[in-house]
């Protein structure tokens, strides 16, 4: 029996082409960092810092710590300078990226409200390589308040990232539930299907499917798959 429902964000609840969004995100960073640092180098370091978070196997360090440990080694900037830039960027500039998302609808908010009313815990299980405020902005674009969620994974509060199975184990540990009592809903055959390795069931959302290739993660396959609307209807019929 499920106790916790985990939702990926980009391409699952949020209608967006992840590759296109990433391109625009990096472009926006370049436009804003040019007075502080070489834009191309800075963006390369952002991407490399993200790789460090994804590859990190040390449970002692948060993803945020891993990111800044790397960043401060390769850029001639202080921690205060970096913090000031990123704080400004995510507060003032990041919201401009809303223009690049697809047509929104009420399904994400409706299904979350339905599940909460039924007593399920809700997790926004987006890859925690962004700060909390960047995730809250994206949630606001589909009218979801952080108050609707029991846990939002971000680089501040997580120590692993997708597709590391430890990411999913960490979530279940934080909520004190068994992995087999969790349902992961996502759109990526690499990052989301790996939840099955720790015993979670997975519904694969196909609207913005990111297909890493058949059998990419060993022989893992989703327990169910379909559109966002089909997922919503299925949950309402069975939960």
User: What pLDDT score does 211 carry?
Assistant: 87
97 pLDDT higher than 80? yes
User: What pLDDT score does 220 carry?
Assistant: 84
pTM: 0.96
Give mean pLDDT, residues 124-128: 99
214 pLDDT higher than 90? no
Q: Decide: helix, strand or coil at residue 239.
A: coil
pLDDT tens for residues 153-197?
A: 999 999 999 999 999 999 999 999 999 999 999 999 999 999 999
219 confidence band (pLDDT: 50, 70, 90): low
Do 43 and 29 contact (CB within 8 A), yes or no?
Answer: yes
Q: Is 86 exposed, middle or buried (0-12, 13-18, 19+ CB in 10 A)?
A: buried
């Amino acid at each position: 029996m499920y106790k916790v429902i985990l939702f990926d964000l980009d391409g699952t609840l949020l209608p967006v082409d992840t590759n296109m969004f990433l391109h625009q995100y990096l472009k926006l960073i370049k436009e804003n960092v040019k007075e502080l640092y070489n834009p191309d180098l800075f963006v390369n370091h952002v991407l490399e810092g993200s790789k460090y978070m994804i590859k990190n196997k040390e449970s002692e360090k948060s993803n945020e710590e891993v990111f800044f440990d790397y960043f401060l080694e390769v850029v001639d900037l202080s921690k205060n300078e970096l913090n000031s830039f990123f704080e400004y960027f995510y507060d003032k500039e990041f919201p401009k990226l809303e223009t690049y998302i697809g047509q929104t609808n009420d399904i994400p908010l409706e299904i979350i409200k339905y599940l909460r009313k039924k007593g399920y815990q809700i997790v926004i299980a987006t890859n925690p390589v962004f700060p909390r405020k960047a995730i809250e902005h994206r949630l606001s674009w589909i009218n979801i308040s952080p108050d609707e969620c029991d846990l939002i994974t971000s680089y501040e509060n997580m120590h692993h990232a997708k597709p590391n199975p430890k990411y999913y184990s960490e979530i279940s540990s934080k909520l004190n539930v068994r992995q087999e009592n969790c349902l992961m809903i996502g759109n990526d055959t690499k990052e989301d299907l790996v939840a099955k390795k720790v015993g979670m069931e997975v519904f694969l959302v196909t609207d913005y499917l990111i297909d890493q290739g058949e059998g990419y993660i060993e022989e893992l396959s989703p327990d169910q798959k379909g559109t966002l609307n089909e997922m919503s209807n299925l949950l309402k019929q069975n939960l």
